[in-house]
Amino acid sequence: MGLVTGKFLDSQITFASLGLAETLLRAVTDAGYTHPTPIQAQAIPKVIEGGDLLAAAQTGTGKTAGFTLPILHRLLNDPQPNRKPGRPRALILAPTRELAAQVEESVRLYSQHTRLRSMVMFGGVNINPQFHALRKPLDILVATPGRLLDHVRQRTVDLTGVEILVLDEADRMLDMGFIRDIRKIISLMPVNRQTLLFSATFSDEIRELARSSLNNPAEVAVAARNTTNELITQQVILADQAHKRDLLSHIIRESSWNQVLVFCRTKHGANRLAEKLSQDGLAAEALHGNKSQAARTRALAGFKNGKVVVLVATDIAARGLDIDQLPYVVNFELPNVPEDYVHRIGRTGRAGSEGVALSMVDRSEMRLLKQIERMTRNPIERIVVEGWTPPSRAALAEEAKEDTYAERRFHSAPGPGARAPAGARRTGGGGGQARSAEGRGGNGESRPRRPSNDNRPRRSAAPGGAGAGTGGAARPGGQGRPGQGRQDSRGPNRSNRSSAQAKA
């Protein structure tokens, strides 16, 4: 396996020089693209050659086109007019509904000048329209593992004709516990297929999956293992959990942020945070696994068109979100698994644009922060914020009562289509599987409160110092960033010196 690495785009390379079919080049031009990204320039020729591929590529690098375009090229060069219904020639597996829908949208975009047909299937929606679509010949199927196996069991999908298999975001599929489903699906396909595995990180589990599923693959990478995008400004704000909610509201309003993706560990925490931010006058929506597909689609559409300013999401629900030039990502709580930090902040700084990733870190999360810094080999800048005063102890006590009551109500009602409470399982100490990533648990966050109209935050002179909060500041490329100052977010008795930390 020869390893090819690269970070920077060679402006001399064009899509035409990669040998793509004319109809695909026309679609690429229509989409406004002129030069391939590094992962595209490296992956496309190797996929066209027909060999297996193991690719390390983070989100936002253009990896979807890196496998979609050459797959379309190969299918166009080997037409099969007498295909059977429900028997795809290419299968793309994705971990979540959102990512599957996003990938199939790209397939449609690049195949618009061809007669190739694609479809997407995932759970959480009525299966009957999928039955209907499978009655027609099919070239490319994009699916989540669970729903695909549902169709296999009902014999509405035949995988014996699959020529090309793509495992997209394979690391996330393993984290979510899909390894058995993946192995089952692979066992139903021809041995002599072409297999492409894309992953943001190369863990030992990914290497093992590659050894058992790929045949002498070429290996390409556009970043070192478990590294973060250099276009993302990462910052940390130290803040007690009880003060985070008020502080986040202050940061967003004072810095005039107009599009922010916020990550929470639990579904309940996402609901509560979105609720409180809405009470502060911010247009906020929650996105998690207990939401119906229609509600998730509405929330995401509102976030993309600007009607929703703050989208509060869990790791699983946010997987596959593709928002052009998303300026801000906030880790309201650090993930239990360091690799998830890379995935989270990869929502910003995409396709050459700059972004800000802010992490709000409580004392109890310092161990997780050190693990992240160790894994990425990148000490994250600590910043502080002026102009924010933590809420009173009485307000925090009342908030804690409301949180406890709301959490009991949340866990007493089942999610859509579930017989038992969907999020009622305890969150484990780690492992980013679906249950732990979106399991139960309240976060003890405080009641949002209108902060004082003090001066805006200024950047602190010492990056390693403790402080609190964030405010407005210069934007990367015209976008506001958290500022700095010295104020304590750790308690009402230290309102003049608070620790805060930002970045993600």
pLDDT in tens, 46-100: 999 999 999 988 766 789 999 999 999 999 999 988 889 999 999 999 998 888 9
Q: Which amino acid is at 382?
A: R
Beta bridge pairs of residue 233: 356
Residue 390 Cα distances to 240, 371, 495, angstroms: 10, 28, 7
Q: Which of 22-26, 288-292, 477-481 is the least confident region?
A: 477-481
> What is the spatial distance between Cα 329 and Cα 297, in angstroms, rounded to a whole number?
20
Q: What is the CA radius of gyration of the chain?
A: 23
* Residue 397 per-residue DSSP state: H
Tell me the two tokens of residue 220.
């390409």
Which ranges constitute the DSSP H helices of 204-261?
204-213, 241-254
Enumerate domains of the chain plus CATH numbers. 3-221 (3.40.50.300), 232-417+434-494 (3.40.50.300)
Residue with structure tokens 């109809």? 23
Phi, psi (rounded to 5 degrees) for 93: -95, 135
Q: pLDDT tens across 411-450, in order? A: 544 444 433 333 333 333 333 333 333 333 333 333 444 4
Q: pLDDT tens across 315-326, in order? A: 876 666 777 788
* Residue 452 per-residue DSSP state: P
DSSP-derived 3-state class of residue 494: helix
What pLDDT was estimated at residue 394? 53
User: Among 289, 476, 334, 460, which residue's Cα sits nearest to residue 386?
Assistant: 460
DSSP-derived 3-state class of residue 184: helix
pLDDT band at 397 (very low <50, low <70, confident <90, very high): low
Residue 348 Cα distances to 60, 91, 200, 232, angstroms: 8, 28, 15, 7
Residue 215 Cα distances to 47, 52, 191, 218, angstroms: 13, 6, 10, 9
In our burial notation (b when 16+ CB lie closer than 10 A, e otherwise), range 143-160 reads bbbebbbbbeeeebbbbe
> What is the spatial distance between Cα 444 and Cα 242, in angstroms, rounded to a whole number?
6
What pLDDT was estimated at residue 361? 94
Of 292 and 147, the one with more pLDDT: 147
What pLDDT was estimated at residue 392? 53
* Residue 456 per-residue DSSP state: P
Tell me the two tokens of residue 489.
């977010």
Of 204 and 70, the one with more pLDDT: 70
